[in-house]
Amino acid sequence: MSQLILRILFLFSAITLPFLLSAQQDSGFSLLGDEPAERIKVENAFKTSRVVNLQSLELTDAGVMDVKINHRFGAVGLGPYEAFGIDNASVRIGAEYGVFTNLAINLGRSSLGRMVDGGLRYRLMHQTNDNARPVSVLLYAGAARTAVTMMGSEWVYTGQLIAGRKETDRFSWQIAPSVVSGQQGQVMAVGIGFREKITPRTTFNAEYIPVISRPSGRANAGFYNSFSVGLDVETGGHVFQLHFTNSAGMAEPQFIAQTNGSWMDRGFRFGFNISRVFTVVDPARFR
């Protein structure tokens, strides 16, 4: 990953994390009461490692494989001849594996752009119930190779700092400054996500990823900020994410930098993610 990406992530963390820590450490708030008997890591800020498209605060447990199938239909604005998008679809199939307690790797293949993507997710800090660690912080570093022309391909890199907090048993939020870098330049964005519990097995999720900087030129025209809303439904070992989004792509370079659908012009589409976990190695071995 380029030095510029690392500098941006380091600068953001150096500026913002001290404020987050100082603001929360003086608070008497506790998820388990004013005087918890012991320090406990706060779990389940989100139901899976994605809010909708955006990487979430959750990290796959060590020794566990999380297999993901992501599906997007075409834009609703295609009209009745295309069954309002049902006749046009793209898919991503991938998996995330917990290598160690705070480290996971992922790999996926998307039909859109014939893109192969992979990445590392590392947890720097895990929120605790006594606010000694008031937020969870993760780093994500990813790389993807996509067909640009019939003659070649391009490597695209993504760097993210993901910070957030489970405020109550019902509400969680996160912010994710992001950089996508490739041969055509760099795109900087700030992802914002939250979830609100509806029932013990159902949550409402939303995310917005405004782009704050992109290269100038005609090649970068016609793109919009990604916005997605949906429901997460947990059924045993599965999590079903049903959502509407204006992003056709499901890998970071696609939905952060190349969302070409407009909600105002019915460029949004229905989609779903399926997450299924399998225990490969007993997680107790890593404790």
CATH classification (class only), 3-286: mainly beta
Of 236 and 22, which is predicted with more confidence? 236
Pairing of strands 211-213, 269-279: unpaired
Rounded to 5°, the CA angle 195-201-207 comes to 20
pLDDT at 84 over 70: yes
Domain assignments of the chain as residue spans, ordered by start: 3-286
Residue with token string 């899976």: 48
DSSP 85: G
Q: What is the pLDDT of residue 27?
A: 41
Instruction: Please give the residue that has the higher pLDDT: either 193 or 221.
Output: 193
pLDDT over 80 (residue 145): yes
H or E element, residue 198: strand 185-199
Average pLDDT, the chain: 86
The amino acid at residue 53 is: N
Q: What pLDDT is recorded for position 227?
A: 98
> In the structure, what pLDDT confidence band is assigned to residue 152 with cuts at 50, 70 and 90?
low
Q: Do 106 and 96 contact (CB within 8 A), yes or no?
A: yes
Residue 224 zone, left/alpha/beta (φ > 0; ψ -120 to 50; rest): beta
Q: Specify the range with the lowest mean pLDDT, choosing from 3-7, 110-114, 177-181.
A: 3-7
With beta carbons less than 8 A apart as the criterion, state whether 255 and 55 touch.
Answer: no
- Whether residue 58 contacts residue 248, with contact meaning beta carbons closer than 8 Å, is answered with no
Check if the beta carbon of residue 170 is closer than 8 Å to that of residue 203: no
Please state, in angstroms and rounded to a whole number, the distance separating the CA atoms of residues 22 and 34: 18
- pLDDT, residue 7, reads 47
Q: What tens digit of pLDDT does each residue of 96-106 get?
A: 999 999 999 99
Read off the tokens for 127: 């929120």
Per-residue pLDDT, 147 = 67
Mean pLDDT of 58-87: 90
Instruction: Give the burial class of 7: count Cβ atoms within 10 A of its Cβ; 0-12 exposed, 13-18 middle, 19 or more buried.
Output: exposed
The confidence score (pLDDT) of residue 31 equals 53
Burial 215-245 (b: 16+ CB within 10 A, else e): eeeeeeeebbbbbbebebbbeeeebbbebeb
Percentage, residues of the chain above pLDDT 70: 83
pLDDT for 214-244, tens place per residue? Answer: 887 656 678 999 999 999 999 978 999 999 9
* Residue 53 backbone dihedrals phi, psi, to 5 degrees: -100, -40
Percent of the chain scored above 90 by pLDDT?
Answer: 69
Going by the DSSP 8-state scheme, the letter that residue 12 receives in this structure is H
Mean pLDDT along residues 127-139: 95
**3-state secondary structure at position 182:** strand
What would the pLDDT profile of 258-271 be if each residue is shown by its tens digit?
Answer: 999 999 999 999 99
Residue 268 structure tokens: 């949004």
